[in-house]
Amino acid sequence: MPNISRKGYLMPESPIRKLVPFAEAAKARGVKVHHLNIGQPDIKTPEVAMDAIRNFEPKVVEYSHSAGILSYRKKLVEYYKSVNIDVTPDEMIVGTGASEAILFSLLSCMDDGDEIIIPEPFYANYNGFAVNAGVKVVPISSSIESGFALPPMEDFEKAITPKTKAIMLCNPNNPTGYLYSKEELEIVKKMVLKHDLFLISDEVYREFTYDNHEHFSVMNLEGLEQNVILIDSVSKRYSACGFRIGVMISKNKEVMSTAMKFAQARLSPPTFGQVAAEAAIDTPAEYFTEALAEYKNRRDVVVDRINKMEGAFCPNPKGAFYVVAKLPIDNADKFCQWLLEDFNLNNETVMLAPATGFYATKGLGMDEVRISYVLNVNDLNASMDCLQEAIKVYPGRK
């Protein structure tokens, strides 16, 4: 029998989705499963976007421009101007979600065997994109004790080799919710310039910052214009993950012309998603005000409840809608599976993502889980009730 590819062998399973069969089995037994494992918002998608889809009635659904529909890119210019980012339509390529935008970025800037430095824990699929592009991820560990703040620059210096081509950040961060400050980004800027690297910044959670903290984009780091690639998406901003629309942005013309070749090879991003995403830019401001207030309430519930559990600790994140919590458990993968296979409280249980899948360094995250606070407050409290009782009776409790 022929062998599968080496890339196929190396491609990691999703730590977010690999427990789905156990959740399905639990539901089949009649157990209610509270899904805190995946960043799928339950906030309603804006009506203005849904109306655009309903009213879009072309005689032929054609390929769009490989860089994305021009009217959408022009509308994106207006959006970015509203968040103090100055770009032009020619400086962006619309992708099938931020996922494709990240892949285009890696393929355009890096060769097989090149290295990219990423603070861990990080969004698990970065590993998959790197394998796809033949790139090696070099992790630099941040700690839960510091709230997952940017690791010291000495750690970056130690990790840089002749193969290092880029640093990647997610801000606000998935999975930790950490918000990198302007001061921290200025430190990264010095490192990038010193070693002539690319800085890829995933800013898909830009709208979700709490406690009067403001998001600062790498696009506004002066003197770094030719090094920066911005990754963005409509998935979380408009609670529209299924639109599958993201964007890659850079002022580096060589990077963008190279990425365009990859964009042409896949022909074009989804037409209906672009139509909806363009309309979504006109979403009323109160939509975001209400969503942000709701997420803050949810964050406060989760952080407060976990920190009251014996042996548990959870930093208070400043952004996104995730927390990484430390629990008194021996093995996060076993614990998350046990929750679905062997535990229920009044016929309810909770599905979490083991944090091990968000680290590239083996052995880290063994007593940590990622929680997405994407359920309403009542369901979150019920989920925390399940988690609190589960910790008490888990056979592998530490």
At 302-338, the pLDDT tens digits run 999 999 999 999 999 999 999 999 999 999 999 999 9
- Helices in the chain by DSSP H: which ranges? 6-10, 20-28, 47-54, 70-82, 97-109, 125-133, 153-159, 182-195, 253-265, 271-280, 285-307, 332-341, 377-393
Nearest to 53 by CA among 220, 303, 272, 327: 272
Query: In the predicted model, is pLDDT for residue 9 greater than 90?
Result: no
Q: What is the per-residue pLDDT for 111? A: 97
Q: Which residues contact 251 (CB under 8 A, 6 or more apart)?
A: 87, 91, 225, 226, 228
Question: Of 277, 357, 261, nearest to 66 (Cα)?
Answer: 261
Rounded CA-CA distance 393/101 in Å is 44
Give 12's pLDDT tier (boundaries 50, 70, 90): confident
Predicted confidence (pLDDT) per residue in 81-115, tens digit: 999 999 999 999 999 999 999 999 999 999 999 99
Report the distance separating Cα 28 and Cα 284, nearest Å. Answer: 41
Q: What is the largest CA-CA distance in the chain?
A: 63
- Using DSSP's 3-state secondary structure scheme, residue 341 falls into helix
User: Which is nearest to 119 in space by CA: 155, 145, 160?
Assistant: 155
The DSSP call for residue 44 is P
Which residue from 212, 303, 288, 256 is spatially nearest to 88, judged by alpha carbons?
256
Q: 121: cis peptide before it, omega within 30°?
A: yes
Residue 15, pLDDT above cutoff 80 = no
> Which residue type does 17 have?
R
CA distance 181 to 227: 19
- Bridge partners (DSSP) of residue 124 are none
Distance CA(158)–CA(348), nearest Å, equals 47
Question: What letter does residue 91 receive in the DSSP assignment?
Answer: G
Gap between the Cα atoms of 126 and 203, Å rounded: 14
State how far the Cα of 321 lies from the Cα of 179, in Å rounded to an integer.
11
CA 334 vs. chain centroid, Å, equals: 24
- Domains of the chain in start order, with CATH, are 6-44+286-393 (3.90.1150.10), 47-280 (3.40.640.10)
Please report which confidence band the pLDDT of residue 398 belongs to, taking 50, 70 and 90 as the band edges: confident
Q: Is the pLDDT of residue 40 over 90?
A: no
Q: What is the pTM of this model?
A: 0.95
What integer pLDDT is reported at residue 141 of this predicted model?
Answer: 97
Q: How far apart (Å, rounded) are the C-alpha atoms in residues 246 and 67?
A: 11
Residues 160-213 pLDDT 10s: 999 999 999 999 999 999 999 999 999 999 999 999 999 999 999 999 999 999
Q: How confident is the model at residue 389 (pLDDT cuts 50, 70, 90)?
A: very high
Task: List the structure tokens of 341.
Answer: 């296979």
Q: What are 16-33's pLDDT values in tens digits?
A: 678 999 999 999 999 999
Kindly tell me if the per-residue pLDDT of 13 is higher than 80. no
